[in-house]
Structure formats: structure tokens, C-alpha cells
Structure 1
Amino acid sequence: MSEGRVIFVVIERLRSRRGLAGALAAVALSLCACASIEPQGEPPAQAAAPAPPPRPAAIETKPSPEHARMSALFDGDYKDPPAERYLNDVLAKLARADEHPGEPYRVTILNSPIVNAFALPPRELFVTRGLLALANDGSEVAAVMAHEIAHLTARHAARREEEEKRAAVITQAASVVQDKKKSEEVEASAQRTIATFSRQQELEADQIGIRTVARAGYDPYGAARFLSALGRSSTMRGALIGQNAGPERPDILATHPSTPERVSLARAAARQIGAPGVGTRDRNAYLSAIDGLAFGDPPSEGMARGRKFLHARLGLVFMAPDGFTLENASKAALGVSADGDEALRLDSVKAPAGMSLEAYMGSDWIEGVDPATIETLDVNGVPAAIASAKAGDWSFRLAILRFDPGELVRLIYAARKPSAETEKRFREALASFRRASPEDLRALRPQRLDVVTAKPGDTVDSIADKMATGEPKAELFRLINGLEAGAGVETGERYKIVEAP
């Protein structure tokens, strides 16, 4: 797939948000999401931002090739012995309580702020630190891990592969014996069948996991609480990047059931086991285990505060247009307008040796570039080139800037309905690029979770005001602490906040 097609698909997926309500969906937690903008094809360079104090080193073991591949997809392993010990203890309890008892799985924490988890044979369990930040007690994280293990014990991957092969055979046969339109209808029907099959597997894994955590002594209602928090996280993310879908309006092709449906079924399964209050939540031990956990992306990969993006290694500052909010994505900063009709992508690549900006702009890095529109200019002392391109229903305005001799910064600005106003917003975004000042770089501080105890007189707002995040702080505080709207804090109870050392 060409780079231009990749950009188009990424923007379209941002707008449609397929599968946003699925458990363990890759959703950003932080309201001030950080963004990765490291050059493709090489490891990230060391940033100028201060590094957080390391936690105690964990015992090193040689990872399997599959472990190494999955770790690379999620920004590497995150070494946190207290959290690892806690999670492995939970896995040992789950192994003893499993419908098919065996050796316990071993956990790997992935250094990613997104919410995700998965299990791999023979007995490896991966969770992101973003998921740990969202979970609020041991029963919630136990439910997540039991759910992932259930996918393996129920052979869901193998059964899905068989279903996909069957659908592929039907689609291929239809393309041979029927006209194109009918063939496309058959293919769409097969895709819906696979999506329904996947949703059924998610519900089955939920049910197996809830039974397992209950036998292990955990609160079976933890699964419903985590799924509820996941739905709120998805909704918050959608509001931030201006997309209209929500957990109550799932895409029909989403591979997971809608969050309200899963929460309802999870609660029903828990009620079959016992009334609320059965089993342990193990909240205090869990909070102690994740106290000090890194939150968000490291500043070395850039940080976004609303519309503003800063990158320490590249030494740049960028401001998205009004109505945009930047969010974290792999190897890029992405943003979508409030109406979903405009989007942008910001990334960086190694500069080809001896190639001018005009030559690079006219190369095959993105398809559809109109050579007649290529022009060079100076943006606040930074050499740049701009051009126009077209792909499908989208029109693109492109910019390449040379902040560093060996690296290029690329801005792709997409508009479904190009106009004088969209051109003005592109030009304003382009003009916002500047070299970062020492004051800008000092603001790039790493963030961590800190567990605090509510004192008499404390409120949601008074504790949230201590957080080193963008606005709205209270909403993020409620999200990461599982507090519903209108609920207050309790004196003596412990809560997570986000701090920058």
C-alpha cells in the first residue's frame, strides 16, 4: 500500500472510529495526549527532556520472536517490578481457578499509553500501562486478563481463521459466477458475518473470564466496572477529536459488541454468582502496585496540549487550527476537525541524502501530488516546500520542513470540501511552525501516576487541580478513578492523580 493511501485510510478511520466500544480497544486515556513523531525506519533518538527516575530493575529474560514483535508494536517493554509482581500473583490465582488448570501465565507490561491487552501461546499475557492506569482495582485487571486467557483456551483465533477462510471461498466463488455488484454484496455479507462471529467471541470470553475471577476470589462485578470505564474513555476521546460516534452508536462492522451491551451482560453474569459485595476488589494493593507508573507518552516522542504540539528532539512547536485537538497515534500526531471534514497528520522521516525539498515533494512519498503546485518558502527561518494532492473524496495540502539537515517534518492537511477557508487554515497551521525555545522544552516533563489520600474537605476539583494535565482535569480525574458524574471523593480513600516530577 502506498504512503498516500495509508494517509487516506488513517484519516478515514479516525473519522469513522470503527470498533471504538470494544474492550481493550486502543484508546488514548490522557486529555493532553502525547504524540509519537519519530522518524520511520530507525529507533527514536534520545530527547533533550529530563528523564524520570528509574524504578527498580526487573529480571531480564530473552524474549521469544513473537514477544519481541509484539513488544515493538507497543513501544517496547515497560519494566516495573512492583506492578509485575502484583499482576503475576493475580495470574497465579487465575491459573488455579481456571476451568482447565495449568501453569500460570506470565505478564509483560508494554510501554504504551493506549488501553490494550492480549494473550499469546504458550502462556504469555501482555497489558499496556495505559490499561493499568484506567483500571481501578485488582478485580478489574483480573477480569481483563481472564478475558484474554479465555480467548486462547476457547481457541477463538483458530475458529475465527476458519470462518475467514470459509468467507473467502464464498466470496471468490461469487466473483467467478456472478456480476461485480452481486459479488460485492456477497463480500459485504461475509464481512458482517465475520464481525458478528467476533462479537460473539468477545461475549463468550467475557462470560468465561467472569466465572474464572469469581472462583479466584475476586469481585465478579469488576468486569462490568472496567467495561464501563472503557466506554467513558472512548466517549471522552471522541469528544476531544470531534467525532460523532459513541458507545451507544457502534459501527455495524465493529468486531466487538457495544460497550452498553457488554456491561449489561457482564453485570447479569456477575448477578448469577452473587449480589454486589461478593469477592474482593483488592483496591489498595492494586493502587500501591501502580503508584509511580508512567502516564502518557514520554516527552521524547512529543507532547500535545490541546492544539499545541511540542517535540524536544526535533526542537519544534506546532499549533493545529481552531477546532482541532491533536491525539496520540503510532509514529504521528493526528487531528480531526469538529465536523470531521478536515484532518491532519504530522510525522517525520529521514531526509534522503542530497535530495532537495522540491525533489522530495515530487517523489512517490504520497500519490496524487500536482507538480505544478510545488513551491518553496521560508517558515519562521525553517526551509519548507508545499504542494497540493488529490485522493478519492479528499483534497490534500502538503508541507515539508527541514528543521534538521538529516530529517524532514511532514504535514498532511486533508479537506473533504476544499475552500478558501480550508486554505487559510492550512496556511495558519503552516505559519505556526517554529523552533522550540528553552522555555518550551522545560515544559516537556514526564508524567506519572501518584496515589494520594483524600483529606477532610477535599473535593474532586481540589484534588484534580493538582494534576499536571490539560483541561478538563476533573473529567480525567473521574475517568481514571472510576467516579461517575456527580460522585464525590471520600475522606481516607485513595485516588490516582497525574503528576510531572
Structure 2
Amino acid sequence: MGWPFTRTQPAGRAAALLPAAVVWPAAAFSLLSAAGLSLLVAACTADQTGALAPVAAVVPPEAPRTTGRDRPANDADHAKLVASFGGEYRAPAAFRLVSDVTDRLVKATERPDETYAVTLLDSPVVNAFALPTGRIYVTRGLLALADDTSELAAVLAHEIAHVTLRHASARTEMALRSELVSKVVADVLNDPATGALLQDQSRFVLARFSRTQEFEADQTGVRTLARAGYDPFGAARFLTALNRTTALRAGSGLNAEPDMLATHPSTPERITQVTQAARRIGAPGLGTDDRTRYLAAIDGIAYGDNPADGLIRGRRFIHPRLGVAFEAPEGFGLDNTARAVLGTTPDGSRRLLFDAVETNAGQGLEEVLKATWNDAIETGSFENRMLNGFPAVTAVSKGKEWFFRLAAVRVGTNTFRMIMAAKGTTDPEPAFGRWLSSVALVTQEEARSLKPLRIQVVTAAPGDTAESLAHRMTAVDRPLERFQVLNGLDKGVPVRAGLPYKLVVE
């Protein structure tokens, strides 16, 4: 939660600021789509034309898609793009590996004279993209998920294929200037005002690839993998891991920030296609996966949230910079996005949101709720309370399908909103009250004790099992499933003594 504070707006305008100044019209909870917004189903934001649309995720819903090198983007464009993904991530060994793999792949393409500059992005989201301007971007989230060099190479080969095949040029004439970055940033920030301003100044166009183009990039990528000497079956393994990690999030009820699945065809279908493409080249065992070098290169990289944006430990959220912490009620899973902390139960019947707002001088907490909620608030439901010494105002809003409990809490000079929704007519008050009572200041001692999560590569000893290794992953939820996904292990498949495995540790 690296939220920039957002000024509260009149109720009719507040939706444009989601999720930083969330407005949940009760009726809008029926807008939940299978594609993605499983947490903030009611949140709506204005698109660039001014019409209301489901709120976009905090990260770009698709990687920037442009092809056909014309002239390089300027440094300002690059800086904006990098900033929209959390900044550049410094990991020398991983950087060298990605650069080496990229160079090797390019030499095996139809355009071996091309060169790409690699940038690692400080984002936990699984994504990568190549631009015709000669840049390749890879998130640390992707590096954490991939299990060997051929899997990384498969992703890079796919993205490079979009460039070499000139897919965007086949769909539209590109105006290669700053609209690329401007639209990405607008999508990232969910800020229509800024987005409109940036797009007025921009000249890039984003092109969504068609289903046919995605499959073509898969096929070309697999062939490039093989020509470069990598295991062509790495593509299928990575897509399987991507599918499993998405399912892991869905099993917790969390799907707030889309990864590569958000803009690509059905993963099972892609797995079938790339497996068939690899088999046309030869039987499994071709090429190298170079797993040992890969794991050595990513050993120690960050995993999950950036501590500067707050940390989730189980059901507890701690934000050292803002000096606030809380614990979600039993049964809730939490997701820390750039604009808010979101939570939901596995069945989706209860949801919560915690975010920060910038208030005007002298603005009361009751006014904060009125200004940031565009549905009716029950008459007489406003109540002044003290939560562990912090002034707060609570209220109730009832919709046709959801029952809402709202609160505005002032902690020091900061104002936070806490919203809980229960499907149907059931009052979420018992859980809502427990959540409110958990709000606390973060002590300096607690802030100093917080450590970011990172990938640790260990060698399995005789007698080790998936369960015993996963038991060391005390800071993450569902550790066994996460261990299996990160290491490409199916359920019931034993670990092998002497081989390296990834753990997530503090």
C-alpha cells in the first residue's frame, strides 16, 4: 500500500478515484466478473471517455504491446514506465542472467541483429514484455515463479516473438511516442484526470494482441527456445506454474492484481499448444534448463510486497511508514495493492477494504464518509466512537444485495477508511467490530523488526520432504501449496535429496 493520499470528493465524483477514495455503490456488487475484480466488485472508476467501468487493477491489465522498431523511446518515457511498475529492481546476478538469456534468444530469431536493454521491475506481479524500442522488462514476481532458465527463456522468447512478428503493426499503424507510457501509467494509477492529461500529451498507442497472435507468438517462441539450445518444454512448465499460482490466489479469494493470464488465452489451451509444438521438435530431454544457474541467480531476491508499501503477515497488515496496523477477522485473506488493502473470504461472501484519504483542514470524519460514499447511508446510523484511543465515526449502508459497515478513523494526522461488506442482509457487525478494535499504532520496535520476504534456495537433505521444507515458510499463507508451485512439484511428488529448492523466508 504505497498509496498517494487522495482528496475526498463529492459523492458523485468519488468513483473516479478508485481504489484510493473508494465508493461502493451497493448495487454495483453484482458487477463482479470472472476475469478479475474478485475483491472490489463494487468499485467503479471512470474510463478515459468519462463512462463508468469496472475499476482497473493497480498494475497494467496488459503489458504494453507495441512492435516494429521505429525510433527509441526517450529516457523520460522509460522512467515513467519503470515508475509505474514500482521502480527498477536491483539484483546483479538476476540481471546478468536475464541479459544473457535475452542475447542468446535474439541470436536465434529471424532478426539476430537486434539488441535489447534489460530492466528488472520491482513488482510482485508476474509479467514481462518486450518493446520495439529495444527494451525488455521483467518483474521480480516472474523471476520468483520461474523454476529454471528455460522457463524464463520461454517467456522472453514469447515476448520477443511479438516484436519480430510485428504483431501490432499488423493491426494498427503505431505512433511511437509517449502515449504508450501515459496509458500504462493511467491504467496503473486508476487516475482518470491524470490519465486524460497524459493522453492529451501522448503519441503512443497500445495494441492488444489477438488470440491468433498470442498463439503464433507461443509457437515462434518454442522454436526460438529450441534453436537457442534451451529445453522447449520450458514453455509448458512455466504456463503450468502460472496457472497454479493464479489458482492459489483464487483459492484464497484473492485476484486483485492480474498477471500475464489477464491478457493471454486460456492457459490450459496454451499449455496444450506449446507442448505439441515442443513435441514436434523432439522428445523431452532436448536442450538445457540450466536450473542450477537460474536458482543461484535469483537466490535472495525479494518476494511479495515491497516493505515500503506495508506488509501482510497472515491476517495482520503493518505499514511502518504510515504507522498503522490492523488484523483482519478470522477467515479473511488480505491483498496489499498500491492503493488499498483488500480482503475477502474464500467464498467471496464478505469483503473488506482499508485505505487512506487526504482530508481538508477541519473536515470531520462524518463528512469523510459522506464525501466518499455515493450510496445512501442509513439515517441515524452515524456513531462517534473511540478505537484504542483513535477517534472514529461508523455508519451503515444497505443495498439490495450487500450490507455495508463503514468507518473513518483518524490515527495521528492520517485518516483511514475501513469498509466491510456482507452479501445479503446479514449484518457484518460482529466481524467488523473485531476488525475496528484491532487498529493500532506501529511501534518503532515493531517497525525495526519487520523484514521483507525473500527467496532462499536450499539443498534438500536426506529425509527432507515437501512438508518439512514448506514448514520453514512461516511468513506466508498455504506454505505447502506455495512451495509446490514455486518449485514445479505436483502434489505427492517427493523432493529429492541433493537438489536445490526455493523457500520464501524473512
- TM-score for both structures, normalised by structure 2: 0.75
- Residue 406 of structure 2 aligns to which amino acid in structure 1? L
Opposite residue 239 of structure 1, the aligned amino acid is G
Q: Does 1:482 align with 2:482?
A: no
Q: CA deviation at 1:488?
A: 1.3
> 1:427 is matched with which residue?
433
Q: Relative to 1, partners in 2 of residues 1:94 and 1:466: Cα closer, same or farther, differing over 3 Å?
A: same
Tell me which residue corresponds to 2:152: 141
- What is the aligned-residue identity percentage? 47
Match of 2:333 in 1: 325
The alignment's C-alpha RMSD in Å is: 3.0
- Does 2:220 correspond to 1:199? no
Q: C-alpha distance in 1, partners of 2:250/2:299?
A: 28
Unaligned stretches of 5+ in structure 1?
Answer: 21-39, 41-61, 163-194
Superposed CA deviations along residues 400-430 of structure 1, whole A, max 9, x for unmatched, are 111121x21111223332323x233223322
Q: Which residue of 2 aligns with 1:169?
A: none
Q: 1:158 to 1:468 in 2, by over 3 A?
A: farther
Alignment map for 1:206-355 (pairs within 5 Å): 206-241=218-253, 255-355=263-363
Amino acid at match of 2:498: G
Residue of structure 1 equivalent to 2:108: 97
Partner of 2:364: 356
Distance 2:269 2:30 in 1: 23
Deviations, residues 105-158 of structure 1 (Å, cap 9, x unaligned) = 121111111111112231111111011000011110011011112222333335
1:408-455, Cα deviation, whole Å (9 max, x unpaired): 1111223332323x2332233222222235664455211211211122
**Is 1:333–1:345's contact at 8 Å kept on the other side of the alignment?**
yes
Q: Which residue of 68, 80, 85 maps to 1:69? A: 80
Q: What code does the residue aligned with 1:225 have?
A: R
Structure 1, residues 189-238: CA drift from partner, whole Å, max 9, x if none?
A: xxxxxx99733322221111111111111110000000000011011111
Change (3 A) 1:413 1:125: same
Of the candidates 115, 125, 135, which is equivalent to residue 114 of structure 1? 125
Whole-angstrom distance in 1 between the partners of 2:409 and 2:126: 33
Runs of 4 or more consecutive aligned structure 1 residues displaced over 4 Å after TM superposition: 7-15, 158-162, 389-395, 437-440
Aligned mate of 1:157, from 163, 168, 171: 168
1:496 aligns with 2:502: yes
Alpha-carbon distance between aligned partners in 2 of 1:13 and 1:481, rounded to the nearest angstrom: 37
| In structure 2, C-alpha distance between the alignment counterparts of 1:12 and 1:227, rounded to whole Å | 31
Q: Look up the match of 1:410.
A: 417
Q: What is the aligned counterpart of 2:377 among 349, 370, 373?
A: 370
Alpha-carbon separation, structure 2, partners of 1:280 and 1:440:
45
After TM superposition, the structure 1 stretch with the greater mean CA deviation from structure 2, 65-74 or 103-112, is: 65-74
Q: C-alpha distance in 2, partners of 1:391/1:71?
A: 40
1:444-478 deviations in Å (ceiling 9; x for gaps): 21121121112222222222222342343222111
Equivalent positions of 1:381-420 (< 5 A) are 381-389=389-397, 393-405=401-413, 407-420=414-427
TM-score, with structure 1 as normaliser: 0.76
Please say if residues 460 and 501 of structure 2, whose CA atoms lie closer than 8 Å, have aligned partners that are also in contact.
Answer: yes
Classify the secondary structure of the residue corresponding to 1:398.
strand
8 Å CA contact 1:15–1:336 kept in 2: the answer is: no
2:210 match: secondary structure: helix
Q: Higher relative contact order by CA 8 Å / sep ≥ 6: 1 or 2?
A: 1
Unaligned stretches of 5+ in structure 2? 1-11, 38-57, 59-72, 174-206
1:368, CA displacement in angstroms?
2.3
Label 1:63 to 1:459 Cα distance change in 2 as closer, same or farther (>3 A): farther
Helix, strand or coil: the match of 1:16? coil
Q: Is the 8 A contact 1:84 1:107 kept in 2?
A: yes
Alpha-carbon distance change, 268 to 292 in structure 1, aligned in 2, over 3 angstroms = same
Counting matched residue pairs gives 417
Q: Cα gap change, 1:312/1:242 in structure 2, threshold over 3 Å: closer, same or farther?
A: closer
* Stretch deviating more after TM superposition (437-446 or 86-95): 437-446
Provide the rounded CA distance (Å) in 1 between the counterparts of 2:498 and 2:293: 15
